[in-house]
């Protein structure tokens, strides 16, 4: 009863090219608890560049994850990639009533969205009074092609779930960063912190100031490149290479001939991302701290190596570090996968908005 919420919690469902990760959170006061968790491999060729190609295959992977997790909720929060979304802060008169605001936002949205409005799904949120004009308010507009939303809805529904929330990955990440404050100087207050989330096929580099994302960049680099190099070097199938990468058992030359080169690439990607950030606008300053997340963050010594190369203290991210964990979730290995659960956690936190 302690962690029961007024409404049944949403399942945070992170669908990527390599895996489907599902997490269910409960809350009591300021304390979160992992109620259930599971991860399932994504079927080969069912997702291409974050677009779902085979809805039924992805839906079946989601269904397996739900069954394994033992989750009771049948409502999920999913996310589209930041690349697939258009975000813009627009100004609206503060005098507008809520019913009038939606129509006015839609009229203005047409100026910023390069697609016919009938092909677009959009939403908005009032941020607050505008600094530019006291008579106006800032409104965050977010839009994407409807097909991006429908792909994810269809995959979720194929698994017997309902998509209650369709979020955008950078927003989910910002939401999840409150779970990393125990790893930030002064809990992130008045500090700049970079969060690097290494995925399977792409990586997201974000900089937060006061726990708000002020910069984000996605780039094509991820753990799949290491898997493919293991395949090539040792003549393994994709599945065998993935298993060997996680479980070990590779020849003694694996570290010097394959892994070290990949770690070097990781540090170069972080260094390059920092340069892009510093060049992205006037007054940019080097982040004071780096948190590395994603499956690649589990590679031994990688945080220390990044810190030594870029000269910024770096730690492996653990969004579950301050949480209680149910015995059911422990049995599914949630601790082992913790650093790769940033997006899934950010989505699950929508339960408490």
pLDDT of residue 7: 60
Task: Report pLDDT digits (tens) over 121-138.
Answer: 999 999 999 988 889 999
SS3 250: coil
pLDDT value at 3 more than 70:
no
Residue among 115, 114, 126 nearest 89 (CA)? 126
> For the domain bounded by 83-146, which CATH number is listed?
3.30.1490.300
Residue among 2, 135, 151, 9 nearest 71 (CA)? 9
Contact between 346 and 170 under an 8 Å Cβ cutoff? The reply is no
- Residues constituting the chain: 353
Q: Within the chain, which residue ranges are assigned CATH 3.30.420.40?
A: 11-82+148-178+321-352, 180-316
Task: Report pLDDT digits (tens) over 296-343.
Answer: 999 999 999 999 999 999 999 999 999 999 999 999 999 999 999 999
Q: Exposed, middle or buried: residue 313 (CB in 10 Å: 0-12, 13-18, 19+)?
A: middle
Q: What kind and span of H or E run contains 337? A: helix 334-337
What whole-number distance in Å separates Cα of residue 50 and Cα of residue 299? 24
What whole-number distance in Å separates Cα of residue 326 and Cα of residue 277? 39
Distances (CA, A) of 230 to 3, 18, 85, 221, 318: 43, 16, 34, 16, 27
pLDDT of residue 206: 94
Task: Report pLDDT digits (tens) over 247-261.
Answer: 888 999 999 999 999
Q: CA end-to-end span of the chain, whole Å?
A: 20
Cα angle 8-14-20, degrees, rounded to a multiple of 5: 105
Q: What are phi and psi of 202, to 5 degrees?
A: -145, 160
Mean pLDDT estimate for the chain: 92
For helices 223-234 and 238-247, angle between their N-to-C axes, nearest 10 degrees: 110
Q: Within the chain, which residue ranges are assigned CATH 3.30.1490.300?
A: 83-146
pLDDT value at 49 more than 80:
no
Distances (CA, A) of 240 to 45, 236, 262, 318: 17, 6, 19, 28
pLDDT of residue 10: 94
pLDDT of residue 6: 40
Fold classification of 11-82+148-178+321-352 is: Nucleotidyltransferase; domain 5 (3.30.420)
Q: Band of the pLDDT at 5, cuts 50, 70, 90?
A: very low
pLDDT value at 1 more than 80:
no
pLDDT (mean) for 260-280: 96
Q: Band of the pLDDT at 9, cuts 50, 70, 90?
A: confident
Task: Report pLDDT digits (tens) over 237-246.
Answer: 988 998 899 8
pLDDT value at 204 more than 60:
yes
What's domain 180-316's superfamily in CATH?
ATPase, nucleotide binding domain (3.30.420.40)
pLDDT of residue 248: 86
Contact between 125 and 107 under an 8 Å Cβ cutoff? The reply is no
pLDDT value at 4 more than 60:
no
What whole-number distance in Å separates Cα of residue 217 and Cα of residue 122? 22
pLDDT (mean) for 211-215: 90
Q: What are phi and psi of 155, to 5 degrees?
A: -65, -40
Structure tokens at 132: 């530019």
pLDDT value at 109 more than 90:
no
Contact between 25 and 349 under an 8 Å Cβ cutoff? The reply is yes
């Amino acid at each position: 009863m302690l962690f029961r919420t007024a409404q049944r919690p949403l399942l945070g469902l992170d669908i990527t090219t390599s895996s489907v990760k599902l997490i269910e959170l409960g809350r009591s006061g300021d304390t979160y608890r992992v109620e259930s968790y599971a991860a399932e491999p994504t079927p080969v060729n069912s997702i291409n560049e974050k677009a779902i190609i085979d809805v039924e295959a992805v839906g079946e992977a989601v269904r397996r994850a739900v069954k394994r997790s033992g989750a009771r909720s049948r409502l999920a929060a999913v996310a589209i990639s930041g690349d697939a979304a258009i975000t813009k802060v627009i100004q609206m008169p503060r005098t507008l009533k809520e019913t009038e605001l939606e129509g006015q936002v839609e009229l203005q949205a047409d100026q910023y969205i390069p697609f016919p409005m009938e092909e677009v799904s959009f939403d908005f949120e009032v941020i607050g009074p505008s600094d530019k004009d006291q008579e106006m308010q800032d409104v965050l507009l977010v839009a994407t092609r409807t097909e991006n939303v429908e792909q994810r809805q269809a995959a979720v529904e194929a698994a017997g779930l309902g998509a209650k929330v369709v979020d955008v990955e950078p927003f989910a990440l910002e939401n999840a960063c409150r779970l990393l404050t125990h790893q930030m100087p002064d809990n992130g207050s008045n500090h700049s912190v970079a969060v690097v989330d290494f995925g399977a096929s792409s990586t997201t580099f974000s900089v937060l100031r006061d726990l708000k994302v002020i910069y984000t960049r996605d780039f094509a680099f991820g753990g799949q490149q290491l898997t493919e190099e293991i395949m090539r070097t040792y003549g393994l199938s994709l599945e065998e290479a993935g298993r060997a990468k996680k479980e070990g058992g590779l020849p003694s030359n694996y570290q010097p001939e394959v892994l070290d080169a990949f770690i070097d690439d990781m540090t170069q990607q972080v260094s390059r991302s920092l340069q892009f950030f510093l060049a992205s606008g006037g007054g940019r300053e080097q982040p004071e701290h780096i948190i590395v997340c994603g499956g690649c963050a589990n590679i031994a010594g990688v945080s220390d190596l990044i810190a030594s190369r870029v000269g910024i203290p770096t730690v492996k991210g653990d969004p579950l570090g301050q949480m209680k964990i149910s015995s059911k979730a422990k049995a599914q290995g949630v601790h082992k996968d913790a650093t790769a659960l940033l997006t899934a956690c950010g989505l699950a936190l929508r339960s408490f908005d």
